[in-house]
Chain A
Amino acid sequence: MENENDFLRVARHNLKGPVGLIKGYLSFWQNDDYQKFPPEKQKELVNKAIALAEKLNDLINDVFLTIALDDKVFKPSPEPIQIKETIETIYNDVLKPHYEKKGLYFKLEAKDDLPVIQSDKRYLTMVFQKILDNAEKYTDTGGVTVSLQKENGYAIIEIKDTGKGFTEEEKKTLFAKFFHGSLSLYNVKGVIDALNGQISLESTQNQGSKFIIKLAL
């Protein structure tokens, strides 16, 4: 997407979606309609509003990260990072309930012991989380395997799912802005590029996907 107006229009449209919904849920309390729902339903409505506020937060972060990447003002802050521990933490702290709810497995296989690397922990965490989150979203049976290995001075992180995979057409625009309405994968690639890494995808429709990230050791 080269046109700045298109970017603003779609970003604005995406950000406004959750705002309307949050207002919608809160309005039940504004006019006391919430009392008409049973207590467990009331709790569900509040939880939905909170989940939407979190989604809005992610969308705002994505828009600003895209702007920072495009304007080349994104500056990584390197610090020591243990990739295996980072991925374990993301899974246990954030993704586990979602994987378990769908009955998906999550395997983390360290083929080699990766050393501590110097990289931007915050943004690498974001990258892993977005890919693992997407893998869960597009996988209904089976699960996700993350494998770690060393090769020619690089850490290779492979994230393989048994999901629906991508079509040939989708693969062409996978890392473009607003792929499936989202800036996530555009930002994932932008961050990996800014960290002097590489990211690629191997995928066959209905046979799952494998994202491969290479980071210098």
Chain B
Amino acid sequence: MAETKTIKILFIEDENLLQSLFTDVLSLDTEFKYEVSNAASLESGLKAAETNRPNVIVLDMIIPLDGEAVPSPERGMSFIEKVKTNPSLKTIPIVVFSNLDDAETKKRAFDLGADSYLVKSESVPQTFLATLKKTLTKSGF
């Protein structure tokens, strides 16, 4: 029997409960094994991407900075751009997982190179898992 493939996922997400839900969902999948690493800020996420070389990045577009009154998706956009213009990182697919559901944000994320976009409140774990796998297949995993 062939060995089960391991997928390395980098979750950039500051909500602990969401990270724990992800882990529960992934534990149900029988097709692949998952090795999950977490980053709670975009800066640490970028470092982790460079060091860990994940197979896929799941990105929350809005991670507020300490004391920031109005969190903005701009830093999330800039993260996508940085990954997708970096020759050694650009092949890593990015699944955006965000509460932002407006067409303009989605379009900008895709224009910058995001591979998939899921709206948190509209996606149950099974949709998340299916999208994750589809994105990996598309990227040639």
Contacts and interface: CB of A to CB of B under 8 A. Distances in A.
Interface of A: 1, 3, 6, 9-10, 12-13, 16-17, 19-21, 23-25, 27-28, 30-31, 33, 36-37, 41, 45, 48, 52, 167, 169-170, 173, 176-181
A25 B125 CA distance: 8
A68 B55 CA distance: 48
16 contacts: A3-B70, A13-B62, A13-B71, A17-B15, A17-B99, A21-B17, A23-B121, A24-B125, A27-B124, A27-B125, A27-B126, A28-B125, A169-B67, A170-B67, A179-B67, A179-B69
Given A13-B100, A25-B21, A180 B67 contact: yes
Given A20-B120, A21-B21, A173 B99 contact: no
Residue among A12, A20, A36, A181 having the largest count of chain B Cβ atoms under 10 Å: A20
Interface string B2-43: 000000000000010110110011001000000000000000
Nearest to A28: B125
Residue among A3, A21, A31, A33 having the largest count of chain B Cβ atoms under 10 Å: A21
B91 interface: no
A177 B69 CA distance: 7
The 3 closest A-B pairs by CB, nearest first: A20-B120, A27-B124, A20-B121
A181 B102 CA distance: 21
A21 B25 CA distance: 12
A216 B24 CA distance: 51
Interface string B97-141: 001100000000000000000011111111000000000000000
Given A23-B121, A28-B125, A180-B66, 19 more contacts: A6-B69, A6-B70, A16-B99, A16-B121, A17-B15, A17-B18, A19-B121, A20-B99, A20-B119, A20-B120, A21-B17, A23-B124, A27-B126, A37-B24, A41-B24, A48-B17, A167-B67, A178-B69, A180-B64
- The size class of the interface chain B forms with chain A is 20 to 34
Given A177-B69, A178-B69, A180-B66, A36 B121 contact: no
A129 to B, nearest CB: 21
Nearest to A12: B99
A178 B67 CA distance: 8
Given A13-B62, A36-B28, A31 B126 contact: yes
Given A13-B99, A33-B28, A36-B28, A24 B70 contact: no
A1 B67 CA distance: 13
A16 B60 CA distance: 14
Nearest to B124: A27
Contacts of B20: 48
B91 to A, nearest CB: 29
A23 B125 CA distance: 9
Nearest to A5: B70
A52 B15 CA distance: 12
A173 B25 CA distance: 38
A77 B128 CA distance: 47
B70 A178 contact: yes
B69 A1 contact: yes
